């Protein structure tokens, strides 16, 4: 690939309201946007990083600065995997390379990747942790949602009240829950029994990263998904015998290139595949939407929490998400932000 120009910008994406998960409350997301150009075409990538690894905007900028010469040399996407480690910085550059390559070829990214034409994807809509009553009200407000993911905090009795309140409000919806590392092994039997009583279909990351071995031998009627425990391709094999589903996030693994490799390896090992997001605008969701075509479970609702999203942006219709090449993955100009 010819030498490239690199533009790196940081942006603050304000949330409509604070969003609570186990151990954290978010009011905004700091993102890094990388634009690569060859004088004729350009490609863009946005990354939120991985908050629980200290991979914030400042860290991503430092990583990009250290590798700027190697990036400007125009590496292939496979070469980039050796230049940058998994994480937000590589994600932003990898996605920019995909879009740049697609623009040069005059085809959308999905075609460049050798995939079938994309289809709208049923996505979960996430409920941040709050009082049971408030979460039930928000669940009702998600009128178009057919799938809802509930954030839990590790407060067992309160968490089960939260789930019961949401189930009562939305008896029609597919429900999954996300522990975000908030529970300990001794809580699992009671947690799973309570979730099963509410017809919950997925339990994501109940234990802290580093405690995966405590899941070995656990017979859960509810599929378990690994998120914080499964960062990149090298972690996928460790899910066997502990998790049923691997949650792939491009900010964790370092881009669409590695995300597709993770999905392929998970399938080879007999694991289910999920695509999630660390937050971000529609520019972050576009690459994940391509990966989502390969997945069993899709969680690409990040833009719905933003006070302002990019235009054009992804669309949410009847519980599905759609991202066209005008959002990301085609030859499009850099979009600014507009108020909702």
CA–CA distance from 127 to each of 76, 161, 203, 299 (Å)? 39, 14, 14, 12
- The CB density around residue 118, as the number of other CB atoms within 10 Å, is 19
Tell me if 149 sits within 8 A of 135, measured CB to CB: no
Does 204 count as an annotated binding residue? yes
CA–CA distance from 288 to each of 69, 201, 282 (Å)? 27, 22, 10
Going 38 to 40 to 41 to 44, the CA torsion angle's sign is positive
Does 318 count as an annotated binding residue? no
Tell me if 68 sits within 8 A of 128, measured CB to CB: no
DSSP string, 228-263: TT--SGGGGGGGTTT-SEEEE-HHHHTSHHHHHHHH
Rounded Cα–Cα distance for residues 64 and 280 (Å): 19
Rounded Cα–Cα distance for residues 113 and 111 (Å): 5
Rounded Cα–Cα distance for residues 163 and 68 (Å): 47
Does 309 count as an annotated binding residue? no
Apex CA 318: angle with CA 160 and CA 295, to 5°? Answer: 70
Q: Which residues have a catalytic role annotated?
A: 151, 249
Binding residues, as ranges, are 178, 204, 227
Binding residues for Mg(2+), as ranges, are 178, 204, 227
């Amino acid at each position: 690939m010819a030498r490239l120009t690199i533009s790196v910008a940081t942006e603050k994406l304000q949330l409509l309201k604070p969003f609570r998960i186990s151990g954290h409350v978010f009011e905004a997301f700091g993102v890094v946007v990388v634009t690569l150009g060859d004088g004729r075409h350009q490609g863009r990538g946005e990354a939120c990083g991985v908050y629980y690894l200290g991979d914030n905007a400042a860290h991503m900028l430092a990583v990009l600065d250290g590798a700027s010469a190697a990036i400007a040399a125009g590496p292939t996407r496979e070469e980039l995997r050796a230049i940058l480690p998994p994480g937000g910085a590589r994600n932003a550059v990898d996605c920019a390379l995909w879009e740049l390559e697609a623009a040069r070829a005059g085809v959308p990214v999905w075609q460049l990747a050798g995939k079938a034409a994309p289809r709208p994807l049923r996505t979960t809509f996430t409920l941040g942790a709050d009082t049971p009553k408030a979460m039930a009200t928000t669940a009702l407000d998600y009128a178009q949602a057919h799938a809802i993911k509930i954030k839990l905090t590790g407060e067992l009795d309160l968490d089960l009240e939260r789930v019961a309140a949401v189930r009562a409000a939305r008896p029609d919806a597919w429900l999954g829950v996300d522990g975000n590392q908030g529970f300990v092994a001794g809580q699992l039997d009671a947690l799973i029994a309570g979730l099963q009583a509410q017809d919950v279909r997925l339990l994501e990351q109940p234990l802290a990263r580093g405690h995966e071995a405590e899941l070995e031998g656990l017979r859960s009627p509810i599929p378990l998904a690994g998120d914080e425990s499964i960062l990149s391709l090298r972690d996928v094999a460790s899910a066997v015998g502990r998790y049923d589903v691997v949650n792939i996030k491009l900010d964790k693994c370092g881009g669409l290139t590695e995300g597709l490799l993770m999905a392929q390896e998970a399938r080879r090992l007999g694991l289910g595949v999920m695509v999630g997001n660390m937050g971000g605008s529609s520019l972050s969701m576009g690459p994940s939407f391509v990966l989502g075509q390969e997945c069993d479970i899709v969680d690409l609702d990040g833009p719905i929490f933003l006070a302002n999203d990019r235009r054009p942006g992804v669309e949410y219709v009847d519980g599905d998400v759609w991202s066209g090449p005008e959002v990301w993955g085609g030859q499009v100009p850099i979009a600014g932000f507009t108020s909702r």
